[in-house]
Structures are given as structure tokens and as C-alpha cells.
Amino acid sequence: MATPILKLRLRRYSSSIVSAIVLIALCLGQSTQVVASQNEVLQKVLPKTVKLYGAGGLKNLANYGTGLLISADGHILTVWNHLLDTDQIIAVLDNGRRLPAQFVSGAGEAGLAVLKVEVINAPHFDLAEVSRSGPGTPVLGFSNMFNVAAGDEPVSVIHGVIAMLTPLTARRGRFDIPYKGDVFIVDAVMNNPGAAGGALTTQDGKLLGIIGKELKDSRSNLWINYAIPLSDVRDTIEKLVRGEVITDDSIELPPVIRPIDTSGLGFRLVPDVVPRTPAYIDFVMPGSTAEAIGLQQDDLIVLINDDLIQSCREFYSQLRELRKGDALRMTVRRDRELVNVELIVPELN
């Protein structure tokens, strides 16, 4: 006997419904596993992070920051900045316990510092297990950014992806940062006030790097989000823990490009006050060669020996490569015309 069409359709619908229920159950199971896994990572990493409080509190100088416990005896790794410029540094552990922190040592070039609190068997990151990852790696950033957390509240967590591994070419204000090693560039807004000293980990909680200070790229003048790979500075950190490295922090912010005394050329540029100050001539000395060849105040230097000049710093950088007796061919813009001149480079200071 033929099967009724209605029964066939009901069987098909029943089969589809069962498949959908199974699929939903699988998705819910996977979602539960993901949530459980994320909670495990948080429970593993958060007790190893520390909220720091010290000097600051003025405009653009936050008096809060972040640190990482790196030993069971209470050694804390953080970034060397203004926060540590006081004898009353307070470390707040994940459980809300407030402890005075003592400065152990710091390295100006790497920009790292180690503090110490009196604890026993503290949960900590093992530097021997620090790994290194490349572009495309999903990461988590743990930090006390914006001082959102208080007491035993957990620090903030940001997720992102490593965009690239590249040498750091950054500045703070008008000054270059001495550290020129590789850094992780992250696609998340991670380097916020208070975030310096935080942990960059993989999604399963393995430590990769330490979140750095708020810096701008020297070339693009844009804020960068980065972390220093701890695998590259592990030896330095071990020395800091032993108190072996004590460096004058005055080397932390050396000038980017020291202006050259151009009085020998017969002119001076305008003061270099911003990262890309245009290379305008501020003063032409009477009776000088510069005056004789026709240079004038407010001339804008746009080319040196066919190289484009976009700022005073680029002018000084190009000039530093020349030697006494070399030809200095310059193109300057005056009103709407370009004027070509040539000088012989004298002895420069």
C-alpha cells in the first residue's frame, strides 16, 4: 500500500527537527567549553597581576599602573616610569591585599624595573616558560588601565591579535626611546594610562610580553599599541631581580636629533618644537655666504642634494651625513617659486 504524502512530509520534518536539536546541543556544549576555558585562563593569570600606585596624579601623569609577579618571593616586574619616583609605592594583589613595594633595580635602556613585596609562595609567572609568537596570534592584555579596578577587583582584559613583530622606533614627547629591540604590535587599543607593566599572553594564558608605556611612532606620529617580548629581555630581568643592574634613568629619554650649529652656513632654522617642524630659515647672518647666494628669512628648505626634506629633524639628519668641503645643494620654496642654491659645507658643530 502506498505511503501517504502527509506521513512522508512529517518524517522529513521530524528528521530536520532532530538534526537541528542535535546541532544546537553541540553548539551549546562548545560554547560552555569555551566559557569554561576562558574562566580557567582568567583564574590562572589574574592572581599573577598586581595593581601599582605611586607618584603622579597630575595632568597626563597617572599615579596608577600595573606589574607582574615573577617569583614566589614577591618580585614584581613593571615598566620604569614616573610612578616609581617615590618611596611609597603600593602594590595591591589580586585578593585586595595592599603591600608596600621596594624598588630593587631598573634598566634605563630596556625601560624595565623590578620591585619587591614581602609575600610567601605568591602565584607568579615563570620566566623560563615565556614563549614567543608571530603575527596572527590571538592575545590577551591584562592591565590596570584607567584605574577601573579597585581592591580585590580584577584588572581589565583586552583581546586582540598580534599584527607584526618589528623594531621599536618610537618617541615620548620630543625624545626618542633608547630601546630598539623587536616589539609585538597589537591590533587592540592596549597601551592606555595605567596599562604599562601589564601582561600580554596567549589565549591559553602563556606569557608573551609586557605592555609598554604610551608612545608615538617616530615616523607616523601615531600612537602605537605594543608589548616588549619578554623572551628577548629575560637575561636583563634576571639581573634586575638579583639587583645587578642599576642604571641612571637619565639615559631613558635622550634627544632625538640634536640641532647642529649652522652658523657656519650663515643661517639658522626655526626652533624644532614639534615632531615635524617645517625647515624654515629663521635668520640669515649679514655678510655671510648664505646672504651672498640669496637665501632669505622664511625660505622653506624642501630638498637637500635631491633628498626631500619634510622637517627640521630631517634637515639636521641629512646635514650630519655631510663632511667639510662637501657640496650642499638646496632647493628652497619662496612664495610660489623654487630657488636652487649651493653651499660648501664648513666645519660644523
Say whether 339 sits in a helix, a strand or coil.
Answer: strand
* Parent domain of 79: 45-252
Domain-located, residue 305: yes
Are 183 and 297 members of one domain? no
Residue 64 lies in a domain: yes
Query: Are 96 and 240 in the same domain?
Result: yes
> How many residues in total does the chain contain?
349
Cβ atoms of 174 and 256 closer than 8 Å = yes
Q: Residue 27: phi, psi to the nearest 5? A: -65, -45
267 lies in the same domain as 240? no
The owner of cell 608573551 is 208
**Contact by Cβ (8 Å): 125, 76:** no
Among the three residues 222, 252, 282, which one is the final residue of a domain in this structure? 252
3 within some domain: no
Whether residues 202 and 226 share a domain: the answer is yes
Verify that 271 and 182 share a domain, yes or no. no
242 lies in the same domain as 288: no
Same domain for 112 and 218? Answer: yes
The answer on 275 and 248 residing in a single domain is: no
Could you write out the DSSP letters of every residue in 199-231? Answer: EEEETT--EEEEE---EEETTT--EE-EEEETT
Q: What pLDDT is recorded for position 263?
A: 86
Domain presence at residue 21: no
Q: State which of 252, 277, 311 marks the end of a domain.
A: 252
pTM: 0.64
Q: Is residue 196 part of a domain?
A: yes
Q: 190, 129, 130: which is closest to 162 by C-alpha? A: 190
What pLDDT, on the 0 to 100 scale, is given for residue 142?
98
CATH number of residue 112's parent domain: 2.40.10.120
297 and 220 in a single domain? The answer is no
**Residue 61: predicted pLDDT:** 80
User: How confident is the model at residue 32, as a pLDDT?
Assistant: 46
Domain boundary among 226, 252, 278: 252
Averaged over successive runs of 10 residues, the pLDDT of the chain (349 residues) comes to 48 54 55 62 96 82 94 96 88 95 84 94 95 92 93 93 87 62 93 96 96 83 91 91 63 48 90 80 93 94 91 88 89 92 85
Let me know whether 118 and 239 are in one domain. Answer: yes
Cα 234 to Cα 178: distance, rounded to the nearest angstrom: 18
Query: In the prediction, which pLDDT does 59 show?
Result: 62
Domain membership flag for residue 1: no
Q: Is the CA virtual torsion 124, 129, 130, 131 positive or negative?
A: negative
> Is the same domain home to 83 and 231?
yes
Do the domain assignments include residue 38? no
Residue 123 resides in a domain: yes
Helix (H, G, I), strand (E, B) or coil at 45: helix
Domain count, the chain: 2
Name, in order, each residue with C-beta under 8 angstroms of 238's C-beta and a sequence gap of 6 or more: 127
* Helix, strand or coil, per DSSP, at residue 39: helix
The CATH number assigned to the domain holding 316 equals: 2.30.42.10
Q: State whether 239 and 310 are in the same domain.
A: no
What pLDDT, on the 0 to 100 scale, is given for residue 251?
37
What confidence tens digit (pLDDT) does each residue in 184-218 have?
Answer: 999 999 999 999 999 999 999 999 999 999 888 76
The three cell numbers of residue 233 are 629581555
pLDDT at 176: 56
